[in-house]
A = this chain, B = another copy of it.
Amino acid sequence: MTTATLEREAQSRLAAYGVRFTRGRRAVVLALAEAQGPRTVAELAEVLGPSVPVSSLYRTLTVLEESGVVVPHYGTRGLTRYELAEWATGHHHHLVCIECGTVDDLEIPEGLEQRVEAVVEELADDQGFEPAGHSLEIEGRCRSCH
């Protein structure tokens, strides 16, 4: 997805939610587009510098989440991470380092993906659970933490 398309889509979702696509919001969306996995507020603050103060960063991420532009990820100790929603990234999974906490994106083979989805539908139904998505994460030690 090109940057222009990404911006247009984000713009449109924010508009549908009834808010503007401001400079700060654009900066956060673009920073997340550069990332190879979900990012913490601290990591984003590092990349963005003082142009987006931390209090604004938190508020921006909340707005982006509520408008469906980003999704939160809670897979690592004590820290919430954010990434662009699946309309932007495509469906994918994660490698989570249990040592340093970094999270990287990961694609899995289409065949497995389809079987996972089938099982998700079936099991969820059995339990009176209304499925909205699934996450498959591989936990272990990343290259740097071996």
Contact = CB atoms under 8 A, between A and B. Distances in A.
A9 interface: no
Interface residues of A, number: 39
A76 B75 CA distance: 8
23 contacts: A72-B77, A74-B75, A95-B124, A95-B129, A98-B132, A104-B127, A106-B123, A106-B127, A108-B123, A112-B115, A112-B116, A116-B116, A116-B136, A120-B138, A123-B138, A129-B140, A129-B143, A130-B140, A132-B139, A132-B141, A133-B140, A135-B136, A135-B137
Contacts of A127: 95, 104, 106, 143
Interface of A: 72, 74-78, 80, 95, 97-98, 104, 106, 108-109, 112, 115-116, 119-120, 123-124, 127-143, 146
